[in-house]
A and B are shown apart, each in its own frame.
Chain A
Amino acid sequence: MIISDNTKKQIDSWIEKYPQGKQSSAVMEALKLVQAENDNQLTSEAIQAVADYLDMPGIAAAEVATFYENYNHKPVGKHIIRFCHNISCMLNGADDLITHLETKLGVKTGEVTKDGLISVKKVECLGACVGAPMFQIDDQYYEHLTADKIDDIVDGLK
């Protein structure tokens, strides 16, 4: 089962926000919810299941799933670290900290740790520039990072 009853309920609560017949407005959240319950990854079957549930063409849901950054089409870790490398973070040493994180985890950005626990991605501005350097793990922001702080945060991931 690609979409659980619980997820369907959550998708329904998004559909309610939009006018009748405009349920495709909920596609972005529906894709996220379905991704979350399928190992953080969207297969073409999952995308089609979302499209069917929202009564929209499969290609329309696939366009959304491939246009936006936060959908994964390859296996990713249980946790995803999105490290900002744009200008304010760069000016505050993000590049060295990204290298530190890569060395610590034994992966390059874009890869997953061997145990499947952590993916590291280099991303564009996350809109927390006054807290630079920063990264996001899953739904949470961590700001004013240092190498020591990164070690503590990452060691705490299970």
Chain B
Amino acid sequence: MNEVCFKNIDKDQCWSLETYEATGGYSTWRKILKGEYTPDEIINELKTSGLRGRGGAGFPTGLKWSFMPRNAQGQKYVVCNSDEGEPGTCKDRDILRFNPHSVIEGMAIGSFVMNATIGYNYIRGEFMEPFNRFEGALKEAYAAGLLGKNINGSEVSFDLYSHLGAGAYIVGEETALLESLEGKKGQPRFKPPFPANVGLYGKPTTINNTESFASVPEIMSKGGQWFADLGVENSGGTKLFSVSGHVNNPANFEVSMGMPFSELLELAGGMRNGAKLKAVIPGGSSTPVLTAEAAMGMTMDYDGIDKAGSMLGAGSVIIMDESTCMVKALTRLAHFYYDESCGQCTPCREGTGWLYRVLKRIMDGKGKAEDIDLLMSVQEKIMGNTICALGDAAAMPVESFLRNFREEFEYYIEHGKSMVEK
């Protein structure tokens, strides 16, 4: 536990440069500055590590970095996605607060691999405490001569800046984030072209999640194989799981991939008031909800959660006990996507409104028998028909809640009240 992004979390002033360097921080970056690494060596180490994108998509980081045309003429950029905002997810906030230098070093290593001399860390606008921590760490890194132009007389240059958002979940989508960084509405771009070819200001850009970048320095100093061995096949390393909801000790836990869900639940102090587990959303609000039975049999890794019928996503584990009204829970999630749809694609803009309004009608006691079929039909029409994944993210909870807890919806429609809540 706590071996990578959280390895200093129990130390005094764990966010300081002094603490970071005392435990080997910036050793890889210093080697790079001395010319002791080639970009390919770093990419190979990352490929060995099995690190997959921690923002939710799970794309192999080493492979992503290898796609950057690093010998292309002109400016290239490296961007960190700290626009955390999917319900249930709050790990990047803690990485920025408690280990900001790992993000800086991870981005610096990435900038060298991809020959990008400028980086931006896009932090969600409400995260002022994490932003101030990160700014403080940037100041320390510049003062220590770790960032800038021709650092320590080397050929290596890297300038890193933080950027603040202003409240929009959709900006967590990487091309919407680029639009936002350019000072526009955060509406996703058509792909292709991919950001590796046409990214920020039209230049080649690599975007990774905060936790992905923060994992890189430790992978480099201890080796890709060390990291891979912490986890299981197809899911190298450790992962931060944000465990929230009806547990005694909700918190972020950095544990090995492949940990049985039941053990993670124990780490989080078990069920509050000894209540019975009813449902688990394992990877953030957009991942399908699981029944207690399916969840108790799963392991916390990409394949394990996939087998159980959901997705690892960003590792945001939402625990619901038997007192939870699933109709109310889904209505709240549907409201979220309705509120956060950027409005660009018709199926998402209109569909999220339909999903929310039909669910609201059921909650208001005015549901109709055909509403379940209507909800299914709307989510099917959103799924796969939009530019970005927000549409799918809105659809998947609906399908899984209705499949796993259908009787609660039927009861609510028939009786005009919750089967669970008094």
Chain A residues proximal to chain B, CB less than 8 Å? 17, 19, 22, 24-29, 31-32, 54, 56, 60, 63-64, 67-71, 82, 85-88, 90-92, 124-132, 136, 139-141
Contact = CB atoms under 8 A, between A and B. Distances in A.
A141 B129 CA distance: 9
Contact of B84 (A26, A127, A140): A127
A102 to B, nearest CB: 18
A50 to B, nearest CB: 11
Nearest to B88: A129
Contact of A27 (B183, B243, B245): B183
Contacts of A92: 245
A24 B127 CA distance: 22
A67 B170 CA distance: 11
Contacts of B169: 124-125
A128 B185 contact: no
B332 A130 contact: no
Contact of A130 (B92, B181, B251, B281): B251
B166 A28 contact: yes
Given A87-B88, A129-B90, A129-B250, A67 B168 contact: yes
B332 A90 contact: yes
Given A28-B165, A67-B186, A130-B251, 15 more contacts: A19-B201, A25-B163, A32-B166, A68-B125, A69-B167, A69-B168, A85-B332, A86-B87, A88-B87, A124-B87, A125-B86, A126-B85, A127-B127, A129-B88, A141-B126
B250 A132 contact: yes
- Dominant secondary structure at the B interface: mixed
In this complex, the interface size class of chain B, counting residues with CB under 8 Å from chain A, is 35 or more
A67 B245 CA distance: 30
Interface stretch (B141-149, B333-341, B354-362, B383-391): B333-341
A40 to B, nearest CB: 14
A87 B329 contact: yes
A64 B183 contact: yes
A30 to B, nearest CB: 9
A70 B166 contact: yes
Contact of B285 (A64, A68, A87, A139): A87
B110 to A, nearest CB: 18
11 contacts: A25-B183, A28-B125, A69-B168, A91-B246, A91-B329, A124-B340, A127-B84, A131-B250, A136-B126, A141-B126, A141-B129
B85 A127 contact: yes
